Amino acid sequence: MTSVLTGWEIMKFNTYLSNKKNLELIRDTSINEVILEHKTLSRMGRLDTNSLLCLTDAALDEGLSPVLQWDILCTEGNFKNCTRLLDNLPLSKFTAIRVQDIGAAEWMHQKLPEIPIHFIAETGNHNLTGLLRWNEYFGQQLHRFALSSELPKSKLINYCHSIKVPCEILAAGRILLFYTPRKLLSNYESSKNSFDFIEKTLVPSDQQQRKFSTLENQHGTFMYHHKDLFLLDFIPDLQKINLNVLRLDFRHMEINQDWIKKIDRLLGSFDKKTVNSLKSKWPTKITRGFFRANRTDLAIGRIKNPHLQDHGVNLVGCIVESVKEKHLIILTRKSFKSGKSLFGITPEGRECIISTEPIYTTDGKPVGLIESGNLYQLPHTKYVTAETLVYSRPE
């Protein structure tokens, strides 16, 4: 086996297989890879062992390539349950095992080196340096990366050309916003041993137009974006960036074979009218997510306190301690002379005049020339608190 791409590989779809009805939907399409989820191994798994094996055999009879999903985050207890189950499954029937927990990947690397790994790097492995390191570590056993939907097109291009294994992204389906292993929708004691799925729609009080589907099962609580990710209208762009697999996730919705066939034809003959028809009939609102650009970092500037940002070359220091009616401690950035009045802006935006007469070192010695990079004691000034920025006043 080799995981290195040799030449251009034709892009393909894969999808989840939950029951035999799904087999009927993808019959007579180009979709030949299906993901199966056991309820012990997969966070959204609903299949018991017998159902999993029956569905695997049915997929093989249809000429499909079944892939086993092991995407739960493992604790010591559930890890032992997972490995015990895997020891009793006919793993040779699966084309690969999809893993998210690095401990699970390491266990496969040590115990099942003959089974290909599809590494799910959607939540905790977003940087290229890290992905390349995992690529190197797992070597030829690593056959694919499932990349994060938070990567914009510019980064996807770089990643797909730098990583020497096939790459996959979610092309249509739910966007996971939040996960916790805690049970938030029901009483923990009554649900901790239950495999039941509980699903509710949560609506923030200040955002009535947003309805977040929230699901709870034995593995924890999952909250999803109120819009589905939909990148099918960008298929021509995706085909140019060396991306190999587009994942279709219809687990939360009813879909018919006609839809599947229309989507399938987009790979060979892209038609904008077909895409627009699919978009107009999609059962939920849709979004392209971060595909064009990920600008989430722009919000950082908006949430920063503007009064704690350096307002120019006149900044001479920052107050690090304020003791009422006693003193202020300043950490200096520039030199100045004792007796010079300074101008302070508190974290709340209050403007104050700060006296430097007298000024002392922290051990109580008077000084006349203040040096940069040291701590000094000033007379206390009303309203001045720690983190107040201190500027020199214009002459």
Return the pLDDT at 209. 64
User: What are the C-alpha distances in Å from 48 to residues 18, 180, 311?
Assistant: 11, 23, 62
Return the pLDDT at 195. 61
Return the pLDDT at 242. 80
The residue among 229, 230, 225 whose CA lies nearest residue 213 is 225
Return the pLDDT at 311. 67
Q: Alpha-carbon distance 191 to 148, whole Å?
A: 31
Half-sphere exposure of 179 (CA within 13 A, CB side): 15
User: How many Cβ atoms are within 10 Å of 299's Cβ, its own excluded?
Assistant: 9
Helices assigned H by DSSP within the chain? 20-26, 49-61, 76-87, 102-111, 128-138, 153-162, 188-191, 235-238, 257-265, 272-281, 298-303
User: What are the C-alpha distances in Å from 182 to residues 65, 101, 177, 179, 188?
Assistant: 34, 18, 15, 9, 8
What tokens appear for 253 in the block? Answer: 């919705």
DSSP designation for 227: S
Q: Alpha-carbon distance 370 to 361, whole Å?
A: 9
User: What are the C-alpha distances in Å from 34 to residues 238, 265, 363?
Assistant: 21, 18, 72
Q: Alpha-carbon distance 38 to 18, whole Å?
A: 10
Q: Alpha-carbon distance 395 to 137, whole Å?
A: 63
Return the pLDDT at 7. 38
Q: Do 247 and 169 meet the contact criterion of CB atoms below 8 Å apart?
A: yes
CA angle 109, 114, 116 (to 5 degrees): 75
CA angle 327, 330, 334 (to 5 degrees): 145
Return the pLDDT at 189. 52
The residue among 84, 20, 77, 96 whose CA lies nearest residue 52 is 20
* Block residue for tokens 């920052």: 318
The residue among 249, 191, 242, 391 whose CA lies nearest residue 311 is 391
In terms of pTM, does the model score above 0.85? no
Give the contacts of 76 (CB within 8 A, at least 6 positions apart). Answer: none
Q: What is the mean pLDDT of each run of 10 residues along the chain (395 residues)?
A: 45 95 93 97 95 97 97 91 96 97 96 97 88 96 96 93 95 93 73 66 64 88 93 93 93 90 93 93 91 68 71 85 92 87 89 90 88 92 92 77
Burial environment of residue 165 by CB neighbours within 10 A (0 to 12, 13 to 18, 19 or more): buried
